[in-house]
A and B are shown apart, each in its own frame.
Chain A
Amino acid sequence: MPTTAPAAPAPDASAASASGLADVTASDSTLRRFLHGLPGVDAVGLEARAASLGTRSIKTTAKAYALDLAISMVDLTTLEGADTPGKVRALGAKAVHPDPTDRATPSAAAVCVYPDMVPFAKEAVAGSDVKVASVATAFPAGRASMAVKLADVREAVAAGADEVDMVIDRGAFLSGNYLKVHDEITAVKETCGTSARLKVIFETGELSTYDNIRRASWLGMLAGADFIKTSTGKVAVNATPANTLLMLEAVRDFRAQTGVQIGVKPAGGIRTAKDAIKFLVLVNETAGADWLDNHWFRFGASSLLNDLLMQRQKLATGRYSGPDYVTVD
């Protein structure tokens, strides 16, 4: 699977300081002033733009390209209390070879599991390019002490997680305690070290306004996120075209200002190939082609993969196969 090297340097303090953003995080008030100084978001306009990009018609060769790209971007996820090593192994096998009938099908990007399942996931994807991502920091609520959160991260990284998906403290964010959120992300980033990329989950459904999502995006990027991610998949509103579009604007603007490229991961609620293609159109026409790679864009999903595979088979054979011709895990 994709061996594309990062097209931009990993975020570090020097990039932020070079672009004049170093002082922003000096204190609670400077951070607050900066985040509240970002341009506002007009909800009607944002949603209209997302809807209008949703009317793009992706056919034939473009569809084939988009389906394969989408498959390669799936973070195949299982985050259930009922997860077992067996279930995780099955998922890992599926991520490596999503379609047993067609070995040319690209692998998924990663499997995403709870920290205690990381060893089984590592084993299942061993020898492939599929990454293992682990949620951490008292996922999904994030309501635990810092010591517990960091221990959670340490365990995941020690077990070999290539990527850590952390949740921010939404309570702190909503009460305006931006520096606390920032410092937590920084601490988690430090704990991840150089071995794991950090995805920062905002739980956009709980931040509730688009202005907040823009502020959270910049906060996360300033604090050293490698990826910004919409949702845990555990609340009522997860990834939507509009909140993903907004986050794509944020990473686009952040790179323009700092030279640092950050990834985006919409998660939860994307179930059909048609929806996934709409998200790829958003990426293509907002952040641009540089993000059309699983190093920079992911889908957090589980059932999506099977629909992508069925559509892929349909495109190849001209017939719909049905759910009995893809694996149920």
Chain B
Amino acid sequence: MTMEKRTSAFEYAPAPESRAVVDIAPSYGLFIDGEFAEAADGKVFKTVSPATEEVLSEVAEAGEADVDRAVRAARKAFETWSALPGAERAKYLFRIARILQERGRELAVLETLDNGKPIRETRDADLPLVAAHFFYHAGWADKLSHAGYGPDPRPLGVAGQVIPWNFPLLMLAWKVAPALATGNTVVLKPAETTPLSALFFADVCRQAGLPKGVVNIVTGDGRAGAALVAHPGVDKVAFTGSTAVGKQIARTLAGTRKKLTLELGGKGANIVFDDAPLDQAVEGVVNGIFFNQGQVCCAGSRLLVQESVHDEVLDALKRRISTLRLGDPLDKNTDIGAINSAQQLARITALADRGEAEGAERWSPACQLPENGYWFAPTLFTNVTQAHTIARDEIFGPVLSVLTFRTPDEAVAKANNTPYGLSAGIWTEKGSRILAVANRLRAGVVWSNTFNKFDPTSPFGGYKESGHGREGGRHGLEAYLDV
């Protein structure tokens, strides 16, 4: 028996998910009034796989005329859709949810190809949550009179929704499911770099027999989004994305009748007290910043660790980060996939370089980046203070800034010392401390002894420059009701 060759490390052989489960057409049109159509001016743009830079498909680029047509279609469909009994609308939503589950594998592969995130995440997080959001809101459709918004709350009309590229299909679900459940119709613009899953969703709507015009998808860049939110036929605008664009939208909408919800950036703090369950805290910190390559608005991008356990936590953190597997997003064993675009990679790179230039100590595990595509190694910055840019600006990438604190008061003060207020995490075995600290954190979501846990029943949203309005749960219905 030769054991020598076996004592080498346990190398996982490639385990790629099959691409064959998804059939991507060479080109896609806009989905307006139940039909796919080219843009009025015939413009198209390409969408690439960020992991390989391979062109996946060509997609129609909506102009103002197309957006107008989509809003008109939604307006027309609103008359009949909003008049349907809630139980009838629920049937469509349940049907959509079931089809999303049935086509889960196909959509997971598609999302991984177009977005660059690991298949492990699309398969185990994105797609299950997408279906859950439709199931959950299907349940609300005939119970709106019990939601606490009056005996017969009415829909608003046409919802113009603009979503980001970090969770393309999940953000679609967060927006479309409550809008339809409450009786609104939708014009949705997916992000420029990730249009495909929304277009596949259009096909799911057709498969579910959803009446024409209830859901319309217009693909394009920021101009299409601007045209959509400014369109006078839109009654409600929901936006998830950067704080800069959010402010612009708020300005556009000022003085109009349109109702607005914004879900913007964040600089979430993960607070680790010295009595924390350390192994699980390290796991939560890693999940908090490296989930989806850190391209998460509620990412725990700041680690606030109590000075008395700083060294211990840092050692454990580095050891754990060294085991992360970066590479082909379609490989089932990949933990860290590609950055979504060259533009985003440039932003992450610039901010990380700035962190170094400002004197923070940079660390990354030994990690080989693929030659093609957009990649950034998991990165940790120590000796970071509140004055560093990387402690203040949202990086939206796999970059963790480590700060320290001495007392709970100091932890709360530092956690709140940001223009954002989307998420925070508390790690301690002491229950009374969890409650006391959570009450003082100005963040829309506070997780305790966990991070990045999502559920359709739980409202999500921000304080301060992280936006306003809530999505999910009973609270999320308000954004789509005339109350």
- The residues of A with any CB-CB pair to B shorter than 8 Å are 1-4, 39-42, 44-46, 48-49, 55-63, 65-66, 68-69, 72, 106-107, 129, 249, 280-281, 284-285, 289, 292-293
Contacts and interface: CB of A to CB of B under 8 A. Distances in A.
B12 A56 contact: yes
Interface stretch (B132-140, B272-280, B346-354, B412-420): B272-280
Contacts of B1: 1-2, 72, 106-107, 129
Contact of A66 (B10, B15, B278, B450): B10
A28 to B, nearest CB: 23
B449 A42 contact: yes
B283 interface: yes
A132 B85 CA distance: 73
Interface in B228-279: 275-279
B15 A57 contact: yes
6 contacts: A39-B275, A39-B278, A45-B449, A45-B450, A49-B279, A129-B1
Given A39-B277, A56-B333, A293-B7, A44 B449 contact: yes
Interface in B199-254: none
The 3 closest A-B pairs by CB, nearest first: A45-B280, A57-B15, A57-B332
Given A1-B1, A107-B1, 13 more contacts: A2-B3, A3-B3, A39-B276, A40-B429, A42-B277, A42-B450, A45-B277, A45-B449, A57-B12, A62-B10, A68-B6, A72-B3, A289-B10
A284 B277 CA distance: 22
B6 A69 contact: yes
B128 to A, nearest CB: 13
Interface string B276-290: 111110011000000
B439 interface: no
Contact of B279 (A41, A55, A56): A41
A171 to B, nearest CB: 26
Interface residues of B, number: 28
B13 interface: yes
Contacts of B10: 62, 65-66, 69, 280-281, 284, 289, 292
A287 B444 CA distance: 37
A66 B279 CA distance: 26
Contacts of A4: 3, 7
A213 to B, nearest CB: 12
B83 interface: no
A216 to B, nearest CB: 16
B11 interface: yes
A167 to B, nearest CB: 26
Interface string B137-169: 000000000000000000000000000000000
B323 interface: yes
Nearest to B335: A52
A208 to B, nearest CB: 17
B13 A46 contact: no
A228 to B, nearest CB: 17
B277 A40 contact: yes
A61 B9 contact: no
A292 B280 contact: no
A326 to B, nearest CB: 19
B284 A62 contact: no
Contacts of B15: 57-59
Contacts of B332: 55-57
B442 interface: no
A329 to B, nearest CB: 21
Interface in B443-476: 449-450
Given A40-B429, A41-B279, A62 B6 contact: no
B23 interface: no
A106 B450 CA distance: 42
Nearest to A37: B275
Nearest to A68: B6
Interface in B85-141: 120, 124
Given A107-B1, A292-B10, A293-B7, A45 B120 contact: no
A285 B335 CA distance: 13
A18 B472 CA distance: 55
Contact of B124 (A1, A55, A65, A107): A55
Interface in B288-327: 323
A55 B6 contact: no
Contact of B7 (A45, A66, A292): A292
Interface string B380-394: 000000000000000
Contact of B280 (A42, A55, A66): A42
A69 B14 CA distance: 19
A284 B6 CA distance: 13
A59 B18 CA distance: 14
Interface string B411-433: 00000000000000000010000
A294 B449 CA distance: 35
Contacts of A63: 13
Nearest to A47: B280
A59 B11 CA distance: 10
B265 to A, nearest CB: 27
A45 B283 contact: yes
A49 B113 CA distance: 26
B280 A41 contact: yes
B25 to A, nearest CB: 29
Nearest to B316: A253
Contacts of A49: 279-280, 283
Nearest to A41: B277
Interface string B345-379: 00000000000000000000000000000000000
Given A57-B15, A58-B15, A285-B323, A39 B279 contact: yes
Contacts of B278: 39
Given A57-B332, A65-B6, A40 B11 contact: no
Contacts of A129: 1
A249 B283 CA distance: 13
Contacts of A1: 1, 3
Nearest to B283: A49
A66 B10 CA distance: 8
B13 A59 contact: yes
Contacts of B3: 1-4, 72, 106, 293
A2 to B, nearest CB: 4
Nearest to B7: A293
B280 A46 contact: yes
Contacts of B279: 39, 41, 45-46, 49, 249
A83 to B, nearest CB: 28
